[in-house]
Amino acid sequence: MRLPADAMVLRLVGGVMALLLLASAIGWVLSRVVTDATARATVDNINARIRAWWVMALVFTVSLTTGALGSILLFTLISFLALREFVTLAPTTPGDHRALFWCFFIATPLEYFLIWIGWYGLFSILIPVYISIFVAIRIALAGDTTRFLERTATTQWGLMVCVYFVSYVPALLMLRIPGYEHHNAALIFFLVLVVQLSDVLQYVWGKSVGSRPIAPSISPNKTWEGFAGGILSATAIGTAIWWATPFAPLQAAVMAFVVTVMGFAGGLIMSAIKRDRGVKDYGTLIDGHGGVLDRIDSLCFAAPVFFHMTRFFFTP
């Protein structure tokens, strides 16, 4: 027996609220007991993060419950902001200006428009095929050959990560899963919740018991202990909310495991870019977290894999 869609989302939202209340309470207690200056800074950062989580959870829930349009508009905005942070750090030249204008104002809205009208065939190849070719042509026409391949590839890559991959989140609404009609919003909730919880839990495990870094040259904060603890506990939570998905408990566990591992990989990849560009964060929009891209890096790489696994195994 499957819950009605609204009841499902309501339960998930209730769970998130309870978690955030708990986090806020712990943050408040920490801010009372910690007096040491360096620990104090960590606690202040944690509290800023928790406050930002409240805002993000609210925006996400509101747009998800306003239906397909709300979710699509939210992720269009996220892509736009993420691409902007990405391009700011990219070594572009004036020769890229026109191509970039197209990326922001034509390619991005078009990709999401295709989700809105449900044209899966074009949605899935628009950016990897047509926009990629277009970008190369437009940059070539501008005539600047300095680091041509690097500049073209950077722009194409930025579009892939910030727009194409991210658009797979609302694209989940397009899937027609037998016996799960009109429940797809809960599938988005499942993906985002598991991936983001995995980030948080990796941070919590890493801070408390982490000692052996996985890739010290990229990020000293990512440890084997944080990785294992975070992935396993997030997978456990994903399994526990199997009732919100079209998956059986074991299937939900596999799905949660895969998206958390992909999420970890995403965080690592996007950190490598930051390290190369010599910055700590992509932006400053979200207090305590950095930029939009810092928050969604894991989601970027988890979303397409989650979408295609669901599509391959659960749709006719």
Partner 1 sequence: MIASSLAVASRLVSGATVEWRCDPRARNQRIYFANHSSHLDFIVIWSALPPRLRASVRPVAGRDYWEQDRVRRYLAGRVFHAVLIERSTGVSTQSAAQAAVERMAREMGERDSLIVFPEGTRSVNGEVGPFKSGLYHLSRRRPDAELIPVHLENLNRILPKGECLPVPMLSRIVFGPPLATSASEEEEKDEFLSRARAALMQLRAIR
Contacting residues toward partner 1, per CB under 8 A: 80, 84-85, 87-88, 92, 94, 97-98, 100-101, 104, 278, 283-284
Give min distance, CB of 131 to partner 1, in A. 16
Least Cα distance to 56 among 72, 76, 78 occurs for 78
CA–CA distance, 315 with 309 (Å, rounded to integer): 10
CB nearer to partner 1: pick between 80 and 264:
80
Give min distance, CB of 18 to partner 1, in A. 35
3-state SS class at 117: coil
Q: What is the radius of gyration, based on Cα positions, of the chain?
A: 20
CA–CA distance, 207 with 309 (Å, rounded to integer): 32
CB nearer to partner 1: pick between 77 and 140:
77
CB nearer to partner 1: pick between 122 and 137:
137
C-alpha torsion angle, residues 107, 109, 115, 119 (rounded to 10): -50
Tokens of 215: 């890739």
Give min distance, CB of 35 to partner 1, in A. 30
CB nearer to partner 1: pick between 104 and 203:
104
Residue 213, strand partner residues? 223
Secondary structure E strands in the chain: 213-215, 219-223
The structure tokens 């309501």 sit at: 10
Spell 115-125 as b/e; 16+ CB within 10 A means b.
bbeeeeeebbe
CB nearer to partner 1: pick between 84 and 289:
84
Tokens of 175: 């899937």
Give min distance, CB of 142 to partner 1, in A. 11
Give min distance, CB of 101 to partner 1, in A. 5
CB nearer to partner 1: pick between 24 and 88:
88
Give min distance, CB of 89 to partner 1, in A. 9
Computed from CA positions of residues 224, 229, 232, 237, in that sequence, does the dihedral angle turn out positive or negative? negative
CB nearer to partner 1: pick between 124 and 271:
271
Q: Which amino acid is at 47?
A: N
Give first-to-last CA distance, the chain, whole Å.
21
C-alpha torsion angle, residues 80, 110, 95, 291 (rounded to 10): 10
Give min distance, CB of 292 to partner 1, in A. 11
